[in-house]
Structures are given as structure tokens and as C-alpha cells.
Chains A and B, each alone.
Chain A
Amino acid sequence: MTEPLLQIKSLNKSFGALKATDDVSLTLYPREIHALIGPNGAGKSTLIKQVAGGLQPNSGEIWFDGRDVTGLSTVARARAGLGRTFQISSLAMEYTVLQNAVLGALGHSGAVWRFFNPVMGNAPLRNAAIAALERVGLVEHAAKRTADLSHGQRRLLEVAVALTLQPRVFLMDEPMAGLGASGSKRLTGFLDGLRSEAPILLVEHDMDAVFALADRISVLVYGKIIATGTAEEIRSNPAVREAYLGEEDAA
């Protein structure tokens, strides 16, 4: 197999006595979707935060594209090509949908130190933003204020902004949350195609989506990865069934 694009090497993070990330190692190869599942409080978002920046691990390393990025800031990692979407939508709420997408395109172009010409009149940025909105199906809401979007639409906008960054790797924290059944299905189809552009590290609660999409699945329980494997392997893994899927079956 080729070199992994993203590699997490024995990462540890504690909050006091709580081990939120306990010796986690994980790889993401080109063209793959690697899903991270686990019960609530297992430390999935904490892990994503450490990969994207914003939270420094106590020990361990994060390698991206052949170099150690553990010491880099969130900004530097984003510029290097880590495209993140948040579990709780993190958008500029006063802006229109289009403005949020243009902000992404602006970040990608890096041409932010311009002080005179209106950014919304900049054709390349605007086109990139509209193209991204079209792909997630938000283009008809482009002029809406972001604060007026539904929960699910905000999740889609998160994905659209990540698209404008043209990242090398997507880090997606529960993109399906709040989408509803049909929206979830649509996004599943979209992510399926997206993996050929850039691999996705996907945290997701929607098991249908995870089993439909993931090339590999890692199961995180109490900060520890208890199993990594294909959908089949995970389904038949007794430890996983006990720790996680069992609850789902019962429910």
C-alpha cells in the first residue's frame, strides 16, 4: 500500500485523571474514508481537535503528508491542507451563506491583505464559493443569513466551506447530524464521491452512513482504539459488539 497521508502516532491527552486520548494510533490513506465511531464521550471530537490543531496532545505525533505537524498551529495546518468541519457548526453567523463560502475561498487563495476592492465582486472567489455551494445543494440559499439556516443546512455549509479550501484531507466531525433521513442519504452519496478528491477521516453517529461509506472503521472507547478494520470485521468483532454496537441493537 502507499504511504498514509495522515498518520497519528501513539497520541495521548489527559484532562486531569481522565484519559481522553489513550495511546491512539491511526492512519488515513489516499482515496479512503476512515470512520471513527464510538459511544458518546469516547473522545472522538477531542481526537479530531488534536489533529486539526487547537488542542495540544500530551505526547505522540501527528504526521501529515510526510511531515510532523504536531507543533503547528491550527492556521498552519489548515494552510497545509487539513480541511475540518465542526461537530457544532462554527460559522460566521451574521454573514450570508455565500459570504461564508467566499471566506473559505479567500482563505484558500491567501489573498487576504487587500484593502480596496470589494471581495464579493471578486469573480474567482465568488465562482469557487458558488461551485462549492452547488455541490452540497445550498446554492439557492446563498443570499440567506447564516443564522437563519436550519441546523442541517449549517452542517452542509460547513462541508461547503471545507470544499472551498480544496484540502488534501477532510476531517469531518459528524457532518450528518441534524440532516434528517433524506439529507443524510444525499450527503452519504456525496462523500462517497468526495473520497477520490481527498481522503476523509469521518466521525459519525449515523451507522448506516458509516457502514455504507467507510473503507476502514476504528472504534474508540474511553479514549482507546479497541479495533480497526473493514465494516465486516468490525461488525463481527465481539469486543466492539459488546462495547458499542450491542447498545445500538438493544435500542
Chain B
Amino acid sequence: MSRATLINTALFLMLPITALVALALDEPFIITLATKVAILALAGVGLNIALGLGGLVSLGHAAFFGIGGYAMGILAHHAQTFTPLMEAPFLLEGTKFMPVIWVVAVIAGALAALAIGALSLRTSGVYFIMITLAFGQMLYYFAISWPAYGGEDGLSIYVRNGFPGLNTLDPIQFFVLCFVILALVLFCTGRLAAAPFGLALSAARQNAERVETVGLSPYRLRLLAFVISGAVTALAGALFADLNRFVSPTMLSWHMSGEIMIFVILGGVGRLFGPVAGAALFILLEHVLGGLSDFWHVYLGLLLLLVVLFARGGMIGLAAGREVAHD
């Protein structure tokens, strides 16, 4: 087993071990924190597909995170108020059933990413960052000014949505659900990175001209990567809203985009398990430093600076060494 695999395995097991220890010590709050890490890591895994594999610096991923959140919020809101989503041309009702909510969130996230990506990917570099940011902010202000779903106040969901066979209100059961989803997505992302699509996408990041010369379109590769990325982040958004039983425009704001990017950068851009490490460190800092000082973001900023300056591969890069080109 290589060092990187060892570190990844340890990182991966850290979450369920934390949750189980917390369960034994009867500390439900810690379980909720572990759940939060799993969900935020999932959002980071989504962004990492665009950022790490595709080299697409998107500062608008809160859009997909929020869309996932609102997909959950809107469906559950209609279900709990017993009002149909729409009556004509056909009756559509809300739902409190997680699998349906996830499918809706993933599809909504993918469609939004398709639209935003199709336009944004015509630009590159700073312009791409700015245009994704602009799209994100557009959705943010739209959500604020949309009174039907709470506007600035957001939507509260009284009871967590259900999953067959589980009591999702029990913290450990909800944790297991989120962790299994994270594990599945990590597995699929790992396969994706090594598959033909991943090879071509990563090559397009390194050298777009090379990819064109072998007859593959970088634009199409990137667009699909962006769509997959948006879909995964939207799924994380739906889970995050369910964790809090609350969704508000904050999930759509550019702060959120920045936070998701911080998970990726802290952990290591392009590293499969980078977002897991990044999100875990972020939440840890938030609660350790946040307890000491209200200005804990200063220290986070400092850490980020150090990582960017001295550890370009993030924490995983620091621990596992330079990524070797794998065969």
C-alpha cells in the first residue's frame, strides 16, 4: 500500500470513527459535526471535479449547493404545508422522501451547471472566475427577492426528510446515510479520474492545444465535467439543508463558494480525498478556534496563505508527497 493510499484510508476512516466514539460517549453534537464534514466534503468533491481535474476555477459553486438546498426546501415545504407544487397542467406535489429529493436536486444542479457552464466556458482564466461568480450572485439575489419561498428569511423544514428503513432524526443514522453517499461519490469520482474521460479532461487542463490536436474538444470535456461537478455539489446542498432543516439564500452566496473552494485548496487541489481533509480541518478550526475567538477567520486565512505558499498540494500533498503520474 502506498503512502498516499494509507493516508487516504486513514482520512476516510477518521469520520466514522469520530462518529462512533461520539456515539459511545453520547455526544450527538459531535456526530452532527462529523455529518457536516461529510456533507461539506461532498460539496468539495463536486467542486474538485471541475477545479482539480478540469482546472476550472469556479467561484460560483454555491449556486449548485444552494439549488440542491432549495430543491429540498421547496419539495419539503410543499409537503409539510400540504400544498401542491403546481396544479396545471398536471398535479405535482411536494415530498419528504429523500431519494426523490436527491434525484430532483441532482437534475436541477446538472441543468443549472449546463446552462451556466455553456456560457462561462467560452471564457477562461479571470473571466471564467468572474462570470461564474456573477451567475452565483444572480441566483443569490433572486432567492432573496422571491417571497414565495421565504425570501431573505429562508425556509424552515420542521421534520427531517425520510429514508426508507432509517430514522433520519437519529444523528448517527443520518450520519451513516451521508457518509455512505460520500463514499459512493468518492469511489465513482476515483473511477472517473482514471477513465478515458478523466484522462482527456486532465489533459485538457494541462494542455488544451494537445487535446484539440488529437481530435477531442476541450469545451465539451469541460462542460460535462462542470455538469457532473454541479450535480454532485447540488446533492451535497440537499443533504446540507436536511442536516440543518433549513435553507436560506446564504447557501447561495459567494461566501459559500469561497468556503467550498477553501476545502479543496486546504486538502489539496486535484486530490481525490483532498476535500475530505479540507472540510474536516475547516470544521475543526471553526470549533476549536471559534471557541477561543470570534475572529478565528484570521487564523484560517493565515493557514490558507501558508498552504498556498508552501504546500501547493494541500495537506494531502504535504503528507503524501508529490503526486506521481500513475499508470
Give residues in A with beta carbon < 8 Å to B: 52-54, 73-75, 78-79, 84, 86, 90-96, 98-100, 102-104, 106-108, 110-120, 122, 125, 143, 145, 161, 164-165
Contact = CB atoms under 8 A, between A and B. Distances in A.
B327 interface: yes
A107 B214 contact: yes
7 contacts: A73-B212, A107-B216, A114-B197, A118-B191, A143-B327, A161-B214, A164-B214
A139 to B, nearest CB: 14
B213 A113 contact: no
Interface string B188-208: 100110111111101100110
Contacts of B214: 78, 103-104, 106-108, 161, 164-165
Interface string B307-327: 000000000000000000111
B300 interface: no
A115 B227 CA distance: 14
A35 B207 CA distance: 28
Interface of B: 188, 191-192, 194-200, 202-203, 206-207, 209-217, 221, 224, 325-327
A112 B325 contact: no
Given A104-B214, A114-B197, 8 more contacts: A92-B206, A96-B325, A103-B199, A106-B199, A112-B221, A118-B194, A119-B195, A165-B214
Instruction: Give the 6 A-B residue pairs with the shortest CB-CB distance, closest first.
Output: A107-B214, A78-B215, A79-B215, A92-B206, A92-B203, A119-B196
B195 A118 contact: yes
Nearest to B209: A90
B195 A91 contact: no
A63 to B, nearest CB: 19
A92 B210 contact: yes
B186 to A, nearest CB: 14
Contacts of B206: 92-95
B197 A113 contact: yes
Contacts of B191: 115-118
B198 A119 contact: yes
Nearest to B270: A94
Contact of A54 (B192, B202, B212, B326): B212
Given A96-B327, A118-B194, A165-B214, A102 B199 contact: yes
B194 A120 contact: yes
A93 B207 contact: yes
B212 A78 contact: yes
Contact of B207 (A79, A91, A125): A91
A108 B196 CA distance: 12
B217 A75 contact: yes
A138 to B, nearest CB: 15
A106 B210 CA distance: 12
B197 to A, nearest CB: 5
Given A75-B212, A78-B212, A90-B213, A112 B197 contact: yes
Contact of A98 (B192, B213, B327): B327
A119 B199 contact: yes
Contacts of A145: 325
B215 A107 contact: yes
Contacts of B188: 116
Nearest to A122: B196
Contacts of B209: 54, 86, 90
A103 B194 contact: no
B198 A95 contact: no
A46 B224 CA distance: 32
Contact of B325 (A75, A99, A115): A99
B199 A108 contact: no
Given A78-B212, A106-B214, A110-B215, A92 B196 contact: no
Contacts of B198: 115, 119
